[in-house]
């Protein structure tokens, strides 16, 4: 299984919809061109859209690729070491553009900027800009500073700011059909393995007025599905508004056909939230509910704040309240001290819960975390590897078992775009987040929700044909 939380596709600003005036774009002067490449979680994708919004309003234009960019920004992830290594490799490759055109500026943004701020000048001395996740408002000023700087002088801003919610800044959206809205920044949970509280700072909720403004704006731009984002999204609170209140409010925004959220923290899943999910038809019956391990001992060491029995009860409550609920999870194997016995508990858990899919990771020690300081990374790499492969094998079989009953069913699919494999096919998602491929039919188009009869499945994909079309198809 791939680590599909890692977005491999670089974002090209040209794919984004320009939604605002660019006050500084003086007539006759070619605006500076920027290229943003994104790694990591959906929140990074949303942050790149935020940066693109800030820069276009300052007069910047989209580059078609790094080769015609004046400013190249890499938005990065620090959650596992491998993610960082990939970015450093990519930065070295992009440095080739600076060698050809010395005025080009190269920046590292996001979590890695925060994590490697002290060593980055050694590991990637050619980088001109280092910008942490709370400094994006100052991005234009930092670019100006770097442009005027002496060689090897770094423009850097990695201050974390517990008041920054980027209120009032409209992201430049990438995807027409699905819109991301960041509702919470930072994290206060301090799971012992996780670097996020250190790279993104303290948890803060975005004001509901801003979230609703963005939801309405997304609909106006053609989005039909909205995903609310936060590190522990259901811990959201802003004054007396909690996540359940917010979810209901967004689900009622005119034109939002589907609403999802990621990633919830099990402990903060309240009965009130389950009730909202069960009673709001536009909230999708799909939850990504990270568990990390099937062993109570490991959960305690990870400081997840719950036991397996409590998690199991939560899943039972969710399944009882929400028919046809699809579930996915995150699991780490090889956390410090994990024995064969602990690992076996994880195997048993995935066999018991039967997730629709799972993102499976080998533990990666991250400096600054509690685990790095106190818990030796003592599971040998080969053991981590074999535990991971076996889990992947078991989960793959469960994935297929989960998609098989779809054969013969009619599902509602939101068409997201053309299939990568054929210009004759659409690709879209069911409300349970299953990728579905179907041949285009006259009158069908991106953004429609169509009824699809499923004919065949693989472990991750449904294939079928459109049987009826919703009222918005006019031909």
Which residues make up the interface to ligand 5AD (CB under 6 A)? 5, 79-80, 193-194, 290, 292, 330, 332, 361, 363-364, 366
Nearer to ligand 5AD, 57 or 366 (CB): 366
Shortest approach of ligand 5AD to residue 357 CB, angstroms?
14
For residues 18-48, one letter each, b for 16 or more C-beta atoms within 10 angstroms of the residue's C-beta and e for the rest, the string is eeeeeeebeeeeebbbbbbbbbbbbbbbbbb
Q: Which residue is nearest to ligand 5AD (CB)?
A: 330
Shortest approach of ligand 5AD to residue 115 CB, angstroms?
12
Shortest approach of ligand 5AD to residue 361 CB, angstroms?
4
Residue with tokens 């700087």: 149
Burial degree of 85 (CB within 10 A; 0-12, 13-18, 19+) = exposed
Longest alpha-carbon distance in the chain: 69
Residue 157 pairs in a beta bridge with: 131
Nearer to ligand 5AD, 126 or 370 (CB): 370
Shortest approach of ligand 5AD to residue 53 CB, angstroms?
25
For residues 130-140, one letter each, b for 16 or more C-beta atoms within 10 angstroms of the residue's C-beta and e for the rest, the string is bbbbbbbeebb
Nearer to ligand 5AD, 210 or 338 (CB): 338
* Residue of 360, 10, 48 lying closest to 229 (CA atoms): 48
Shortest approach of ligand 5AD to residue 39 CB, angstroms?
13
How many CA atoms does the CB half-sphere of 422 hold within 13 Å? Answer: 8
Nearer to ligand 5AD, 269 or 363 (CB): 363
Q: In what order do the strands lie in the sheet with 326-333?
A: 286-288, 326-333, 357-362
Q: In what order do the strands lie in the sheet with 225-229?
A: 178-182, 225-229, 258-262
Shortest approach of ligand 5AD to residue 312 CB, angstroms?
18
72: its two tokens: 């190249």
Nearer to ligand 5AD, 302 or 414 (CB): 302
- Residue 99 CB contacts under 8 Å (≥ 6 apart), including other chains: none
175: its two tokens: 């995807």
Residue 262 pairs in a beta bridge with: 229
Shortest approach of ligand 5AD to residue 302 CB, angstroms?
9
- Cis previous bond, 263, omega within 30: yes
Nearer to ligand 5AD, 176 or 336 (CB): 336
Nearer to ligand 5AD, 32 or 80 (CB): 80
Shortest approach of ligand 5AD to residue 184 CB, angstroms?
15
Shortest approach of ligand 5AD to residue 333 CB, angstroms?
9
Nearer to ligand 5AD, 193 or 286 (CB): 193
Shortest approach of ligand 5AD to residue 348 CB, angstroms?
18
Nearer to ligand 5AD, 170 or 263 (CB): 263
Nearer to ligand 5AD, 133 or 428 (CB): 133
- Residue 431 CB contacts under 8 Å (≥ 6 apart), including other chains: 258, 284, 285, 286, 411, 412
Nearer to ligand 5AD, 35 or 311 (CB): 311
* Residue of 126, 140, 186 lying closest to 160 (CA atoms): 186
User: Are the CB atoms for 355 and 395 separated by under 8 Å?
Assistant: yes
Residue 33 pairs in a beta bridge with: 61
**Which secondary-structure segment (H or E) carries 430?**
none
Nearer to ligand 5AD, 60 or 357 (CB): 357
* Residue of 273, 270, 260 lying closest to 230 (CA atoms): 260
Shortest approach of ligand 5AD to residue 83 CB, angstroms?
10
Tally of CB atoms within 10 A around 199: 27
**Which secondary-structure segment (H or E) carries 125?**
none
310: its two tokens: 């409590």
Shortest approach of ligand 5AD to residue 166 CB, angstroms?
22
1: its two tokens: 């299984």
């Amino acid at each position: 299984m791939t680590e599909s939380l890692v977005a491999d596709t670089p974002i090209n600003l040209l794919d984004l919809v320009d939604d605002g005036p660019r006050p500084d774009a003086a007539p006759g002067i070619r605006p500076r061109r920027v290229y943003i490449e994104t790694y990591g979680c959906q929140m990074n994708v949303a942050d790149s859209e935020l940066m693109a919004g800030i820069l276009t309003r300052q007069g910047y234009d989209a580059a078609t690729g790094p080769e015609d960019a004046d400013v190249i920004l890499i938005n990065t992830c620090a959650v596992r070491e491998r993610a960082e290594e990939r970015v450093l490799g990519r930065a070295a490759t992009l440095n080739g553009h600076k060698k050809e055109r010395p005025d080009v500026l190269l920046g590292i943004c996001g979590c890695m900027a925060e994590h490697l701020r002290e060593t980055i000048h050694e590991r990637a001395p050619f980088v001109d800009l280092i910008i942490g996740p709370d400094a994006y408002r100052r991005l234009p000023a930092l670019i100006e500073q770097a442009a005027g700087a002496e060689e090897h002088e770094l423009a850097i801003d990695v201050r974390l700011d517990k008041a920054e919610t980027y209120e009032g800044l409209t992201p430049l959206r990438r995807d027409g059909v699905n819109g991301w809205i960041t509702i919470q920044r930072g994290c206060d949970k301090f799971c012992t393995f996780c670097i996020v509280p250190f790279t993104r700072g303290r948890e803060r909720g975005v004001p509901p007025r801003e979230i609703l403004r963005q939801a309405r704006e997304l609909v106006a731009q053609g989005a039909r599905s909205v995903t609310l984002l936060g590190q522990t999204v259901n811990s959201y609170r802003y004054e007396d508004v909690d996540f359940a209140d917010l979810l209901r409010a967004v689900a009622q925004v005119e034109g939002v056909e589907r609403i999802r959220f990621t990633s919830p923290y099990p402990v903060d899943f309240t009965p009130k939230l389950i009730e909202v999910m069960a009673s709001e038809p536009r909230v999708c019956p799909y939850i990504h509910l990270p568990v990390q391990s099937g062993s109570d001992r490991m959960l305690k060491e990870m400081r997840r704040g719950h036991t397996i029995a409590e998690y199991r009860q939560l899943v039972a409550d969710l399944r009882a309240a929400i028919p046809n609920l699809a579930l996915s999870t995150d699991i780490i194997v090889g956390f410090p001290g994990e024995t064969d016995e602990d690992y076996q508990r994880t195997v048993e858990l995935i066999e018991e819960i039967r997730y629709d899919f799972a993102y499976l990771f080998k533990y990666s020690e991250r400096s600054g975390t509690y685990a790095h300081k106190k818990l030796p990374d003592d599971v040998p790499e080969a053991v981590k590897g074999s535990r991971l492969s076996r889990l992947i094998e078991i989960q793959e079989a469960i994935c297929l078992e989960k998609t098989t009953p779809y054969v013969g069913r009619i599902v509602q699919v939101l068409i997201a775009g053309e299939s990568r494999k054929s210009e004759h096919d659409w690709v879209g998602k069911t409300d349970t987040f299953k990728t579905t491929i179907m041949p285009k039919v006259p009158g069908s188009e991106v953004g429609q929700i169509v009824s699809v009869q499923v004919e065949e499945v693989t472990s991750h994909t449904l294939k079928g044909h459109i049987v009826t079309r919703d009222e918005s198809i006019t031909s």
